């Protein structure tokens, strides 16, 4: 790749991935609504609100691929979700359409299916059951990606990320965790694949307790290597096992199912 665009680069995942992404493209254009610090020699830093269509158009121009991490990443006021996750995604896809349809990896979320129970195993054909407005915004993003693929041939990997962090910190994450190494290898697979299409991929490591089946995306050849099980003893010693009747133990979306609708 000549130039990779990474949105949401100042966030938790963006910062964790910055070193790991360096070998993937000659130039990496990092963007966020907040300051991104100093640029290294192979980096371009662009401050941009995803809700600003002209700004997003310029951001996407000249890029061969987009890792879209930007947006509101938890439950929040609808006005904030509307700007970043709905308008922002529309702006991104329109900019992509205007500039040669660079391949997109869209960071969707397990909160598209958060009201499914933890004793259910899901594949990509399981109906969505979002657990809040944040989850609904990711359902919108997935629908938008499919529409741009069907209408224009725009390729997107829709990655329903579980919990991508250094290590699992709750009992639920023994099922939902994805390691940074596994996310890195997934990004490589997505951008190297000769043919991508518009698959839904569960962004989860090879956890013994995972709930999600990636058979439909097997053609990409992604083989996650980490397994949250190695943290089980540590987590259980720290008292992480919840009451089996509590929402964190019943629903796949865990605590997100209990969030209110936030007032403006
Ligand atoms: P984060 O909240 O730490 O980072 C998101 C970034 O987007 C922030 O730096 C924020 O400033 C930026 N942003 C927010 N509104 C913006 C706007 N209007 N214009 C431009 N930038 C804006 O989230 P995190 O954890 O880094 O996640 C990255 C992506 O992955 C998010 O889209 C999130 O929904 C998704 N995801 C992450 C999971 C995780 O475990 N970290 C799990 C599931 C999905
Ligand atoms: C998400 O979608 C959030 O962005 C992230 O902060 C985590 O809370 C994750 O889901 C999760 O469900 O653990």
Convert the pLDDT of each residue in 53-98 to its tens digit.
999 999 999 999 999 999 999 999 999 999 999 999 999 999 999 9
Identify which of 6, 10, 13 to mutate to test ligand 1's pocket (most ligand atoms within 8 A of the CB).
Answer: 13
Which residue owns the Cα nearest ligand 2 atom 9? 163
Q: What's the 13 CA to ligand 1 centre distance in angstroms?
A: 7
Query: Does ligand 2 come within 6 angstroms of the Cβ of 109?
Result: yes
Q: How far apart are CA 124 and CA 137, in angstroms?
A: 18
What pLDDT, on the 0 to 100 scale, is given for residue 135? 99
pLDDT at position 100 over 80: yes
What pLDDT, on the 0 to 100 scale, is given for residue 17? 97
b/e per residue, 105-141, with b = 16+ CB within 10 A? bbbbbbbbbbbbebeeebebeeebbbbbbbbbbbbbb
- Please provide the average confidence, as pLDDT, over all residues in the chain: 98
Share of the chain above pLDDT 90, in %: 99
Which residue owns the Cα nearest ligand 1 atom 2? 73
Which of 36-50, 183-197, 228-242 is least confident? Answer: 228-242
Cβ-count burial of 168 within 10 angstroms (0-12 exposed, 13-18 middle, 19+ buried)?
buried
Q: What's the 230 CA to ligand 2 centre distance in angstroms?
A: 21
Query: Does ligand 1 come within 6 angstroms of the Cβ of 8?
Result: yes
Query: Does ligand 2 come within 6 angstroms of the Cβ of 74?
Result: yes
Smallest-distance ligand from the CA of 203 = 1
Strands 103-109 and 156-161: parallel
Q: How far apart are CA 177 and CA 168, in angstroms?
A: 6
Smallest-distance ligand from the CA of 256 = 2
What pLDDT, on the 0 to 100 scale, is given for residue 44? 98
Average of per-residue pLDDT across 204-221: 98
Query: Does ligand 2 come within 6 angstroms of the Cβ of 163?
Result: yes
What pLDDT, on the 0 to 100 scale, is given for residue 205? 99
Catalytic annotation, residues: 134
Q: What's the 62 CA to ligand 2 centre distance in angstroms?
A: 31
Which of 97-106, 233-242, 249-258 is least confident? Answer: 233-242
What pLDDT, on the 0 to 100 scale, is given for residue 91? 99
What pLDDT, on the 0 to 100 scale, is given for residue 240? 75
What pLDDT, on the 0 to 100 scale, is given for residue 241? 87
Which atom of ligand 1 is nearest the CA belonging to 15? 26
Query: Does ligand 2 come within 6 angstroms of the Cβ of 73?
Result: yes
Q: pTM for the whole thing? A: 0.99
pLDDT digits (tens, 9 = 90+) for 127-167: 999 999 999 999 999 999 999 999 999 999 999 999 999 99
pLDDT digits (tens, 9 = 90+) for 189-210: 999 999 999 999 999 999 999 9
Residue 207, token pair as written in the block: 């956890």
What pLDDT, on the 0 to 100 scale, is given for residue 32? 98
Residue 239 banded pLDDT, cuts 50, 70, 90: confident
């Amino acid at each position: 790749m000549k130039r990779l665009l990474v949105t949401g680069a100042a966030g938790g995942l963006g910062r964790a991935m910055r070193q790991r992404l360096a070998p993937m493209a000659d130039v990496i254009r990092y963007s966020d609504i907040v300051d991104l610090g100093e640029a290294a020699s192979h980096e371009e830093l662009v401050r941009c609100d995803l809700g600003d269509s002209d700004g997003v158009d310029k951001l996407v121009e000249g890029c061969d691929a987009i890792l879209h991490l930007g947006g509101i990443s938890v439950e929040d006021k609808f006005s904030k979700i509307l700007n970043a996750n709905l308008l922002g995604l529309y702006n991104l896809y329109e900019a992509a359409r205007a500039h040669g349809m660079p391949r997109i990896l869209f960071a969707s979320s397990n909160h598209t299916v958060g009201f499914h129970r933890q004793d259910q195993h899901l594949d990509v054909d399981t109906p969505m059951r979002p657990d809040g407005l944040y989850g609904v915004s990711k359902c919108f993003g997935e629908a938008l990606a499919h529409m741009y693929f069907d209408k224009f041939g725009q390729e997107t990997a829709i990655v329903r990320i579980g919990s991508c962090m250094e290590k699992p910190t709750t009992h639920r994450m023994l099922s939902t965790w994805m390691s940074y190494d596994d996310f890195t290898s997934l990004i490589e697979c997505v951008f190297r694949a000769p043919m991508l299409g518009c698959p839904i991929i569960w962004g989860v490591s090879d956890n013994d307790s995972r709930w999600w089946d990636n058979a439909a995306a097997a053609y990409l050849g992604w083989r996650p290597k980490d397994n949250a099980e190695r943290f089980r003893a540590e987590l259980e010693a720290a008292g992480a096992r919840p009451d089996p009747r509590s929402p964190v133990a019943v629903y796949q979306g865990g605590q997100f199912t209990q969030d209110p609708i936030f007032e403006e």
